[in-house]
Structure 1
């Protein structure tokens, strides 16, 4: 992916220099315990934050200033460029397909832990979108996890992660996310998980639209990039994560969809480019 030297987004909130999110010290679990929580969440098929409670993860930080490494700086620039691309693409898609105005999200970069309007954010919880403050939270250390532990390497695999979370913001802009989450609060855990799968697969489809537009209109896609994104979608499927954790896949616990589903819905968005074709809520064929 061609990203160096390109336009960066102004909608970045960089909290990394303050360490632990500006003096945030979250009660609960830290260090090796965070890894245990992460693996346990994979086994259970749930968002790790559901296992942490309101306290989240203890970052072990007292908020002392942090010096960013060259890798930190490069990763921040990379995320900012990808975010700028999503803004350009979704502004155009909203206008052309919906005759509507797209309002960009803010992306928060942090190290170890920070606060969000949706609760504690940490490396163990992974990247997520918070509809309460319309921000994406990302510890770029997750990119290392993506590559070394989850088998999804390449810069476009990392870009897919950003695009997927922005896909949730697109859902929020369309009024889909609030309606789906409202229903989730009124049904059983298993039914809530099933709705969560549809939410996540739609975000995968929307990230496919982003990839299509990036290839066709921005000209930033290089050979092998799309394969990296498809592989990333496969590697973070619920069945693959549970199997790699040494467990038998348990479909009733799935919250994001299988590897086949995630990669297929990404491809639907990539091939179609139409928001209407990403309606995972109106199909029996996930």
Structure 2
């Protein structure tokens, strides 16, 4: 029963699984037991099951300050402590030096600090001493003479060496450096001066180069091209000396037929011939000349020579930079009338250049008789009056002859300065 106290008044221990309730306290431990405490039966440590209990005996730590009567080997000296001589020996304890300083039984250094006495100085006779002195004097005198000669030669080859440092003068002359490049700005030529004061006017007359009119009959596209190709070398040969004399570079133009399949860099009317300054090409409309040749062969040949000479006149303007100058002046023109007037001056000058070439080579080209009459008639009856669009850009028929007739007779580009003429002469 729970209230019973079998141990004579002590509270019984709670059973397994018993929990303390509110107000109930755990029993205090008993201070004395009634049963005596005795040792159990002794067990041997050498039994088979007790091998794990064996432990290796470890020496007890030695107290260096403890005094012991044990007569064992002395304790090893502490690091850095002075070594103590062992009893009954001349050697010191501790580590020994090994190497060439054996035997170790010596107490002092291996070699004595004081060596054997030096031998007595050797005595020389008076004759030997006198001979050596004389030899020294001879050697000293020889060295002095050599030094004097060296100094004399050095002074003779160097100009005042103490006043300036010695230099090695080169045997070859120092090359002269070229003058630095100086860029000079050449003043530009005004457009109006380029056309009014061009050097082509002072180059002189065109020479008769002896060329002949091509004998090709222009009855087709191929033969028409061959006819103009026969005239081109004659024009190149006549104009080249004057272009170069005027200070410009000569360039032969290209030649082509007006065709939609082979266009030039310029846009021109498809039913007329023109010059393209962009690629320096003369474009010829071949169909008109084939039809004209069928109606009147003489007039067709004269007209073809005149058109070729006129378009080459534009090439002369291009080589002498007048074509560029006129284009610039037109860009600055304030009115359309002023722009058209500049264009008429340009076209009338090309007509004049062409007439100068034809007049200088009239014999070789056969411009006599009927051909000459045909050329004069065509020149007098060409102008803006015959333009269906009534555009006044090439000059009247009166001015066509005003510039063409005199140039044919003179054969000189000086007759073609249309830029100094009055407005009436370029209308």
TM-score interval for Structure 1 and Structure 2 normalised by the shorter chain: 0.5 to 0.7
TM-score by length of 2: 0.44
Contact 2:243–2:319 (CA under 8 A) maintained in structure 1: no
- Backbone CA RMSD of aligned residues: 2.8
2:370 to 224, 237, 245: 224
Counterpart position of 1:176: 322
Instruction: Return 5+ residue gaps in structure 1 as ranges.
Output: 6-68
TM-score by length of 1: 0.64
Deviation at 1:270, TM superposition (A): 0.8
Counterpart position of 2:348: 201
Cα distance between partner residues in 1 of 2:241 and 2:234: 11
1:79 to 214, 228, 233: 228
Cα distance change, pair 186–114 in 1 and its aligned pair in 2 (3 A): farther
Cα distance change, pair 226–104 in 1 and its aligned pair in 2 (3 A): farther
Q: Secondary structure at the match of 1:153?
A: helix
Counterpart position of 1:3: 214
Cα distance between partner residues in 2 of 1:101 and 1:225: 34
Counterparts of 1:17-166 in structure 2 under 5 Å? 71-94=220-243, 98=246, 101-112=249-260, 114-119=262-267, 121-124=268-271, 126-144=272-290, 153-166=299-312
Matched, 1:258 2:404: no
Q: Secondary structure at the match of 1:158?
A: helix
Cα distance between partner residues in 1 of 2:396 and 2:261: 29
Deviation at 1:158, TM superposition (A): 1.2
Contact 1:204–1:265 (CA under 8 A) maintained in structure 2: yes
Cα distance between partner residues in 1 of 2:336 and 2:416: 24
Cα distance between partner residues in 2 of 1:239 and 1:148: 26
Cα distance between partner residues in 1 of 2:320 and 2:401: 23
Deviation at 1:146, TM superposition (A): 6.3
The structure with the greater share of residues assigned to strand is 1
Show CA shifts across 1:53-101 (max 9, x none). Answer: xxxxxxxxxxxxxxxx962222111111121221121124435x63655
Cα distance between partner residues in 1 of 2:264 and 2:367: 32
Cα distance change, pair 228–123 in 1 and its aligned pair in 2 (3 A): farther
Contact 2:213–2:231 (CA under 8 A) maintained in structure 1: no
Cα distance change, pair 221–99 in 1 and its aligned pair in 2 (3 A): farther
Instruction: Return 5+ residue gaps in structure 2 as ranges.
Output: 1-211
**RCO higher in structure (CA 8 A, sep ≥6):** 1
Contact 2:248–2:319 (CA under 8 A) maintained in structure 1: no
Cα distance between partner residues in 1 of 2:219 and 2:284: 18
Show CA shifts across 1:219-255 (max 9, x none). Answer: 543432233233333333001335xx8xxxx6xx410
Cα distance between partner residues in 2 of 1:202 and 1:175: 14
Cα distance change, pair 91–237 in 1 and its aligned pair in 2 (3 A): same
Number of residue equivalences: 209
Q: Secondary structure at the match of 1:137?
A: strand
Contact 1:2–1:221 (CA under 8 A) maintained in structure 2: no
The structure with the greater share of residues assigned to helix is 1
Cα distance change, pair 101–142 in 1 and its aligned pair in 2 (3 A): same
